[in-house]
Chains A and B, each alone.
Chain A
Amino acid sequence: MNAPLRVSTPEAAPLDPLMPLAARLRRRERLSDDVALFTVTLEQPEMGGPTGANHQPGQFVMLSAPGVGEAPFCLCHAASTHEDGVELCIRRVGEVTARLFDLPEGALLGLRGPLGSGFEMDDLVGGDLLLIAGGMGMAPLRSVLQAALTRRREIDRLILIDGARTMADLIFWPELAALPADVERLFALDDPSGARVEPLITGHVGMALAQVALDPNRVKVALCGPPVMLEPVVRGLEARGVSAEDIFITFERRMSCGVGHCGHCAMGRRYVCVDGPVFSAAAARELGEGLR
């Protein structure tokens, strides 16, 4: 009897989106007490996966420390600026991140991605662009900043507001301090002692924002920071006439699969891993759980 029940199996099985690709830890450079910049390269980039040159600003990867587990990290550089692997800016907070800090350079890691839908640079250029980062929020916004610098001529005013608790927590400060002069900037530190950046205010990013002149009809905003920061900043912007449609926020949620199957990252009725992590403030508010 023939076997009609043998069913179609795909000829060349596509890449399993859950399976990490072998990668190596190339470099780890301390940025602060508990934050470091990691450079990770795929062993076989021809197999697919994040090379550092094939992502959009705001997209993320899942990075595995074999034997401990996997965690999401955003790509903190623009694809156009960097071609020898992915750069990830990672804070040591728990099990996976602790192992990442302890492993020797050259260690085997797992990498999958690029995942999620990032910032559409086309939506951000064409007028003024305001980047607002709080703490680790500078990691994803660095990719937007680098992408914006490559399209500098399509942007009128390019403005950066970056806040942290102390000078020691201000990640990437040397390169931010060295930005071209036509990038307007304002730093905010809760505790300004020993500050090495300027212009500087003492306080939080909301207070810095109040000091920046804005044309609400021309400005697009990219925003990333801890959950408690988002709501007041969005309200502050709206109070000055900026439309919630023009504010783009990258959200963080617990993740497990990163590909829209496991449910961990739900924000209202959307999955942050595939429908985001970048949502407009208007969309996030409609989801209920993003913004109120």
Chain B
Amino acid sequence: MSGWILPQAELGPFLQTVREQMQVFAPTAVEAEGLCALRPLNGAIGPPDTEARRTMLPPKKLLLPNNETLFTFDAEGYHPAPVDDAPTVLFGLHPCDLRAISLLDRFFGARIADQRYVQRRAATRLIGADCLPDDACFCHSVVASEPRDAVYDLFLWSLEDRFWVTVNGESGAALIDLDRKRFRHPRPADRLALQRRQQLRARMLENGRARRQARGDAQWSWREWSAACFTCGACAMVCPTCVCTTQEEHPSLDGASGERVRRWSACLYQNYDRAAGEHHFRNERMERARNRFEHKMLGCGVGEEGVKCVGCGRCVVNCPAQLPLGEALERAAGNLQRAQAIKAAAANPGGEES
């Protein structure tokens, strides 16, 4: 694997240089609120927290902002609201969040593209960072634990006092070129260290899975799960791949003008599907729970088939009912993989490797 080496002490100064060109958002511990948030980097940049926890809100908050004015209207008609597409770097995104962005790119870029998402995304550069999983992470089980989709521009592997920086494409190289002098070419010892780091991560991911399995995932069904769910929608708000939104009309007092706003929403809300005559298509909580989790595991829409959960663990740590969502999703993913393996074996009865 080709790459560059960036000494840890040089990361802060490098980001300072980048910040002269673009705004930089990075995971920031917010002690007062006891959480970690993607915040703009201001002031002097100290050594970044490479053991950063998952941010409470995912990077989608910058690409698909909550409460966004889509357009305004007046007596003349409708006028597009400006898109905040200032050049931006999102720094420190873990592999699960990178995977989530590649899923959003596909969702909002294909078929009928969302102009606002596409425009903002085109102005966004992604610097990923590796991480060591905690007990709520199950990215490994949903094949989102490695920086695979080449959606990032740079990806930093943490090697004690330095980073191995993987570069993707011209836009990644251009970021390095902003401050080339801080990077050096890798040496054999760096390669060894990279291997060790990757092996450590893989072991931790696998051990985590084994530990959760050994604990025995509680016998779990939609009915039991939904009986305890508040349908508060927290799991959807924090999910990096949940896309449900609602458009709202905000008229001005003059009655002739106003704006239309797009807000995050959740398919778990009871009136999400309300139709004529107070008709509901998913009136029972269980049906709404099934809807969300089926969509997470299997996707929704023609051409959108596939696992949409990236195993980031946000819903696990933020569910106020403390439901075993991670175990449920991980088990569903396991079942899915088994089903696919069985299907592949059936399609290939000779049993040869394909």
Q: B50 an interface residue at 8 Å Cβ cutoff?
A: no
B residues within 8 A CB of A110?
73, 77-78
Interchain CB contact under 8 A, B275 and A274:
no
Interchain CB contact under 8 A, B244 and A264:
yes
B residues within 8 A CB of A254?
272-275
B residues within 8 A CB of A264?
244, 246, 267, 272-273
B residues within 8 A CB of A66?
73, 251, 256, 258
Given contacts A260-B111, A269-B295, A271-B300, contact A7 B123 (CB under 8 A): yes
Q: A168 an interface residue at 8 Å Cβ cutoff?
A: no
> A110 to nearest B CB, angstroms?
6
Residue from the list A16, A263, A267, A275 in contact with B116, Cβ < 8 A: A16
> A73 to nearest B CB, angstroms?
12
Interchain CB contact under 8 A, A270 and B87:
no
Q: B161 an interface residue at 8 Å Cβ cutoff?
A: no
Residue from the list B108, B262, B295 in contact with A266, Cβ < 8 A: B295
Interchain CB contact under 8 A, B267 and A257:
no
> B74 to nearest A CB, angstroms?
8
Residue from the list B71, B75, B108, B251 in contact with A19, Cβ < 8 A: B71
Interchain CB contact under 8 A, B80 and A16:
yes
Compute how far the CA of A266 lies from the CA of B293 in the bound complex, rounded to whole angstroms: 13
Looking at chain B, what size class is its interface with the partner chain? Answer: 35 or more
Given contacts A252-B275, A261-B114, contact A43 B125 (CB under 8 A): no
> B236 to nearest A CB, angstroms?
9
Chain A interface, number of residues (Cβ within 8 angstroms)? 50
Interchain CB contact under 8 A, B80 and A262:
no
Tell me which residues from 1 to 33 in chain A have a Cβ below 8 Å from any Cβ of chain B.
Answer: 1, 3-10, 13-14, 16-22
B residues within 8 A CB of A256?
245-247
Question: Which residue of the partner chain A has the closest CB to B291?
Answer: A266
Compute how far the CA of A66 lies from the CA of B254 in the bound complex, rounded to whole angstroms: 12
B residues within 8 A CB of A69?
247-249
Q: A231 an interface residue at 8 Å Cβ cutoff?
A: no
Given contacts A110-B73, A256-B247, contact A5 B300 (CB under 8 A): no
Residue from the list B170, B275, B299 in contact with A269, Cβ < 8 A: B299
B residues within 8 A CB of A17?
112-115
B residues within 8 A CB of A259?
111-112, 114
Interchain CB contact under 8 A, B251 and A67:
yes
Tell me which residues from 194 to 235 in chain A have a Cβ below 8 Å from any Cβ of chain B.
Answer: 226-227
A residues within 8 A CB of B272?
254, 263-264
B residues within 8 A CB of A263?
243-245, 265, 267, 272, 295, 300
User: Can you name 11 A-B residue pairings with CB atoms under 8 Å?
Assistant: A4-B171, A4-B178, A10-B118, A16-B71, A20-B78, A21-B77, A66-B251, A227-B279, A256-B245, A262-B243, A263-B267
